[in-house]
Structures are given as C-alpha cells and as structure tokens.
Amino acid sequence: MTASVRRESGLDRRSTVVVAALALVTSTLVVLSVGTGDYEMSPGEVLATLAGSGTKAQYLVVMGRLPRVLVAILVGAALALAGTIFQTITRNPLGSPDIIGFTTGSATGGIVTLLFFGAGPGVVSLGALAGGLLTALLVMALCAPHGLLSSRLVLLGIAVSAVLVGVNSYLLVKANLEAAAQAVGWLVGDLSGRDWSYFVPLAIVVAVFVPVVFANGRALRMLEMGDDTATGIGVDVPRVRLTLVVVAVALVAAATAATGPLPFIALAAPQLARRMTRLPGPNLAASALVGATLVVAADYLGQRLLESSLLPAGVVAAALGGVYLLWLLLRRRA
Amino acid sequence: MVQVTERVRSPRTSVSVRTLVLVGSLIALAAVVLLSIGFGSNRLSLGEVLHALFAYDGSYNDVVVRDDRLPRTVLGLLVGMALGLAGSLMQAITRNPVAEPGLLGINHGAAVAIVLGSAAFSVTSPGEYVWFAFAGALVGTALVSIIGGTRGATSPLRLVLAGVAIQAVFVGINQGMQMINTHNLQAMRFWLVGSLVNRNLDQLSVLLPFFVAGVVIAVVLARALNALALGEDTARGLGANPVLVRVAGMVAVGLLSAAATAACGPIAFVGLMIPHVVRSLIGQDERWVMLLSALLGPVLLLGCDVLGRLLGSPGEIQVGVMTDVVGGIAFVIVARRLKAVRR
C-alpha cells in the first residue's frame, strides 16, 4: 500500500501505533515529572494520588506540580502545530516560526509588555501575540513579491531575528534590575513556577484554535500539492492560507507567553512525526504529540540532568534542537 | 569616471577609485577615532582631544582620555580590524556572501571555550583564555566547514543554517554552564554581550601575537585567494594548492576571531557587512578587499560604539547590541539582493 492510499483510508495503522506510543511516553514523563523535586514521590504514589487515593500532603504536592507539566504539554502541542502549518504553507522544511523570526518577535512583544506595563501572564500574551504578528508581517513584506513562498524567507527571517535579538538586549539594558531579571528568566524559555494562572489562558487559546487547525487539515494537505491543484479540488487557497497563518501565529504567541521562547520545537516536531509515521504531508495529531513529548522531556531532563541546579527547558531544547538541525544538514548533503 | 562604473564588476578596477576609497577609509578611520575619544559622559572638544593625545600634562581630561577612552579606542581598532579581515577571508574562501565569523557561530565557539575555561580552570584574564578561545574558534570553524561545505561556491542558505544551528548549541551550552556555575555568571554575562568597556591594555598585549599571526597568514594568502576565485583547476594551474589555502585561511580566521572574542566577547556582523561594502566599491581583488576591510572594520565597530554611547546616555548600549541591530538590517539588504537562493 502506498502512503497516499494509506492516508486516504482514514485510520492508518502505523500512525495510530505511533500516536499511542507517544501518548504513553508523554504520560510516563508526566508521572516522573510530577514525582520529581524536593518531595520525591514514586510513580505508584503519583498514580494513586491522581486516582484520588493519596494522602493530603501528596495531593497538595501533585496539584502544585501538575500545572507545570500540563503547560509543557500544551506549549509543545501548540508549537508543533504552528510549525506544521508553517512548514506546509511555505513548502520549506525550515520555514518554521523559530527559524524565521516569529518566536523572537513574540519574545520582543512579551518583553515590552513586561518592562513597560509590569504585566501579568494575560497581558504578556497579548504583547507576545502583537510582537509575533508584526514580525510575521515584516518578514512577509520583506519577502515580497513571493511572500511566504519566497526562497529568501529563511535568510530574511534569520536577519530579522538578529535585529530583534539586539533590540531585546537593548531593552534589557535599559530596564531596571528587577524587571530585567524577570524578563531574562522568561527569555530563556522556562517552565519553573508555572501554575494554574499560566495554564488557563493557554488552555483557552489552544481550545479555540486547535479545532480550527484540525478542521482545515484536509485543505492543508491539498495545499502541499500546489496552489493550482488545491484550487482545482475546490480549496479556497487564499482564505485557508490566511486563516492558518493567523492561527499558527496565535498558537506560537500563546505558547511563548506561557514559557518564553522555546527554540526548535516547532522546527523538529513535524519532521520527527513525519519520520515516525512515514506518511507524507502534515501529520497533525502525531506532530502535536511529538511536540508535547519533546517539551515535557526537555523540562524533565533540565530538572534531572544536574544535581546542583535546575536547567531551564529552553536551554535543553536549544542544545538538542541545534544538534538536530546539524544532523539534518549533514543528511541533506547528498 | 563613466568608464569606471562600467568596469566595476571586473577584478581590475581603475587605480583612481581604489586610491579614492583608500584615502576615504583613512579619513573615516581618523574621524571615528577622534569621535570615540572625544565622546562620552563628558564630551571633549577636538582641541581637548588633541591636547590629551599630543600635549599630555595630567589634567583631568587628559587622564580620562588616557586611562579610559584611549584603551577603548585602541581595542576597537584592533578588534574591528580582526573582524573585518576575518570576514573578508571567510567570504573569499567559501565564495559565499553570507560567510562571517559572528553569524556562523565561530565567535560563539570561542565564547563557549572561554566560559568553559573560566568555569573549569578559573582562568580570568584574556591572556589566559585566548588559548581556550582559539581552540573553541577552531572547533567552530571546523564544524562550519564540514557542515556548510567550503568547496566551491556553497549555498548561502546552507551555510547560514549551519551557523544558526552551531550557535544554538553553543549558546545552549553556555547558558547551561552559567546556570551550574553562578559565581562567574555576572562577569561572563556582560562579557557575552560584546563590549569595549573596562578592558585593560596590558592584557591586550597578550592578544597581539594572535592578531599578528592572523594578519600575516591573510597577507600571504591574498594572491592565492585571487587565484582560487577563478576556480579550482585554474588555481592549481597558477600554482596554488586549494586545500592548503582553505585550511590556512580558516586557521587565520580562527586566530583573528579568537583574539577578537577574547578581547571583547562575541560580536556579529562586522565581518559580514564591511567586505560587501568594499566589494561594491572596488571590485573583487582580494588583496584590496582585505586591506580595505581591515581599515573599515574599525570604522563600523567604533561607529557603533559611539552610537551606543549616544543612544544609551546617561549609560550606554553595548557595542555588541548595536552591531546586531545595524548589522541585521544590513543583512536584510544583502539577503534581498542575493540572486535566487538554493534551498
């Protein structure tokens, strides 16, 4: 059976297995993660507590740590879906939000709101959203006349990113120490101290936008075949493209607002999902789960890797993602 | 002059244009040096600057100039020269318009090695950690060469991506090490931004051999690089060994980047922009491109430094931040001018 035929049969066995396996890995990491910290709990204790039969102390510990892993799962899924959308629309495996500057733009917006309005997570989300959208518009304008399909997209995105990194550093230099410290912590990409107040706005954004992504899943697959083909099949190409780009930017912005800019997740997750399922095109469910697994794993590794200190998930993601990108480049030499 | 514009693309630009650009560069360099010395939290007039330089008598202004502004300016001159030269070398070797030690993660390789050195072996002075920097820069150069490919004209996109990836790994390692070892985080954090402040000239003398070695290799290679620009076979016919030229050139890039990074932290884009400007002015002759890049590198770096003092007053904006912004904008222009980019 060829991949396209497998794809059309709706439920492909291999990707079902992959999705199930990823869900299992993520759940395992969640249990391990919740059991990690000053107050150690065995996986059995965690599961018992989640089932409602733990002690009061255990219940408090689990409820304290649960939002952190839930935020990690949602952020990973949001970034991965945004990456899938961008890579499909740009028809470029490197056309992901973190490479072409949207993530940095969200970070700039977030810093501005942090520094000038001393804002909480909700307002920072709005700032990150505005920053991401403005950067997206700027990069697309620079790529005119081809916009997102331009072969220069990646180069220009990297260039715009560089400028924004400079702007971010400038803002941090000008800020007072306390605000700067808070912004620096946020810039690295970190999940420590993420409680329900972070989880709720993120969950709302994900609940609103993820169904839109899946509803447009078929149209997105058609887009991969080229605009003319998609139009011929009856897809309203400009409308679908605009809708999905807006949704993707919103997802990136919400994720960035929750944890700061986590690098490389949006780039790597869709591609890893494609390799695992061996299916062409956007594998939305598998990508989202790979993203969730990656972020939860990065956070868990950061907490566990070093005894003395806690590494932020962003640092782990940067190092791992960089290695992945290098491997990708080496493989594409042929 | 009409003929000149027609011939600007050829390797042999008319002598008058070169001389003009050379004189212009020297004037610009002198101007930016005077600005860099005269400009700061207390502004000095041209007369006061010249007085401090040539008729030193220990007045307050003279001391400010000699102990603060002058070292900073000398450092900017050296580092700008090193970065401009390293950039033009890399672009000649890879025949790639986006090659540059900052953008391709080589400076960050040096930075990782320095942070490692200070964390593991508690080295503190540039003289000690320049060796770490050199090792790190060489690792970075080797990685970029292997991944981006240096044979023939490589794809700009591929090279930049290799740089982005290498930089991400290095920066991740750096942040990780800073998290583990907080006691030198404070010093290192400022140093990692790239700045010309508070450097001691005595320590600079240790870096000089690295600068000099890099410059000497570059000078020796200049003609061979011109030959290499004509293609591998032609270069061999002219008696240049392409592999040797590339390896030696990359070693020189490593030396120059290591010295520059050890002196004032990783600074990007100076080596990217300046050779571009020079080529558009005087054409492709590598000997002239290198010479003028070495002269104009400091103009850009010191210019950005002065601008950072101006915009950031009463404090200042580190020069590394300024070059990110100015250079990033220039990179946008370069990327838009590239012919079709291969994916």
Per-residue pLDDT, averaged over A173-199, amounts to 80
A145 or A8: which leads in pLDDT: A145
The whole-angstrom distance between A10's CA and the closest CA on chain B is 33
- Tell which residue, A223, A165, A94, has the closest CA to residue B341: A94
CB contact at 8 A, B114 and B207:
no
Euclidean distance between CA atoms B172 and A279, whole angstroms: 32
Whether residue A22 lies within 8 A of chain B, CB to CB, comes out as: no
Supply the pLDDT for residue A203. Answer: 95
Residue B30 has which token pair?
């002198």
Whether residue A141 lies within 8 A of chain B, CB to CB, comes out as: no
Residues of A in contact with B160 (CB under 8 A): 154-155, 158
Residue B36 has which token pair?
């860099």
A154:B269 CB<8 A: no
Per-residue pLDDT, averaged over A156-180, amounts to 81
Supply the pLDDT for residue A50. Answer: 85
SS3 B194: coil
Supply the pLDDT for residue B149. Answer: 67
Per-residue pLDDT, averaged over A284-310, amounts to 87
Euclidean distance between CA atoms A317 and A186, whole angstroms: 14
Is the pLDDT confidence value at B4 over 70? no
**What is the per-residue pLDDT across B57-116, written as a single tens digit (0 to 9) for each?**
888 888 888 888 888 899 999 999 999 999 999 988 888 888 888 888 888 888 888 888
Is the pLDDT confidence value at B5 over 60? no
DSSP-assigned states of every residue in B262-316: HHH----SHHHHHHHHHHHHH-S-HHHHHHHHHHHHHHHHHHHHHHHHHHHTTS-
SS3 B65: helix
**What is the per-residue pLDDT across B294-320, written as a single tens digit (0 to 9) for each?**
999 999 999 999 998 888 777 788 898
CB contact at 8 A, A155 and A143:
no
Residue A2 has which token pair?
């060829």
Average pLDDT, chain B: 83
CB contact at 8 A, B301 and B27:
no
| Helices marked H in A118-259 | 121-142, 153-174, 177-188, 196-215, 217-224, 227-233, 237-259
Q: Which of B166, B182, B331 sits opposite A159 (nearest CB)?
A: B331
Cis preceding linkage at B156, omega within 30: no
Residues of B in contact with A316 (CB under 8 A): 172, 176
Euclidean distance between CA atoms B3 and A321, whole angstroms: 52
Angle between helices A237-259 and A102-117 (to 10 degrees): 50
Supply the pLDDT for residue A11. Answer: 61
Residues of B in contact with A322 (CB under 8 A): 165-170, 172
**What is the per-residue pLDDT across B125-164, written as a single tens digit (0 to 9) for each?**
767 778 888 899 989 888 888 887 655 556 778 888 888 8
Give buried/exposed letters for A213-230 (b at 16+ CB in 10 A, else e).
Answer: beebbebbbbbeeeeeeb
Whether residue A159 lies within 8 A of chain B, CB to CB, comes out as: yes
Is the pLDDT confidence value at B199 over 70? no
Cβ neighbours of residue B250 under 8 Å, at least 6 residues apart? B90, B93, B141, B142, B145, B150
Per-residue pLDDT, averaged over A288-304, amounts to 93
- Give A1's pLDDT tier (boundaries 50, 70, 90): very low
Q: Which of A179-188, A321-330, B230-239 has the lowest mean pLDDT?
A: A179-188
A66 or A116: which leads in pLDDT: A66
DSSP-assigned states of every residue in A257-306: HHHS---SHHHHHHHHHHHHHT--S--HHHHHHHHHHHHHHHHHHHHHS-
SS3 A319: helix
Per-residue pLDDT, averaged over B210-215, amounts to 94
Q: Which of A3-7, A195-199, B10-14, B112-116 has the lowest mean pLDDT?
A: A3-7
Cβ neighbour number for residue B40 with a 10 Å cutoff? 18
Whole-angstrom CA distances from B256 to A253, B102, B171, B208 are: 40, 12, 20, 10
Supply the pLDDT for residue B3. Answer: 38
What is the number of CB-based contacts under 8 A between chain A and chain B?
134
**What is the per-residue pLDDT across A118-165, written as a single tens digit (0 to 9) for each?**
767 667 778 888 898 899 889 888 887 777 777 788 888 888 988 898
Give buried/exposed letters for B50-75 (b at 16+ CB in 10 A, else e).
Answer: ebbeeeeeeeebbebbeeebbbbbbb
| Cα dihedral sign, B262-B268-B272-B273 | negative
Average pLDDT, chain A: 85
Per-residue pLDDT, averaged over A84-92, amounts to 90
Euclidean distance between CA atoms B28 and B35, whole angstroms: 10
Supply the pLDDT for residue A73. Answer: 97
Supply the pLDDT for residue B130. Answer: 83
Is the pLDDT confidence value at B243 over 60? yes
Cβ neighbours of residue B190 under 8 Å, at least 6 residues apart? B318
The whole-angstrom distance between B3's CA and the closest CA on chain A is 34
Supply the pLDDT for residue B312. Answer: 77
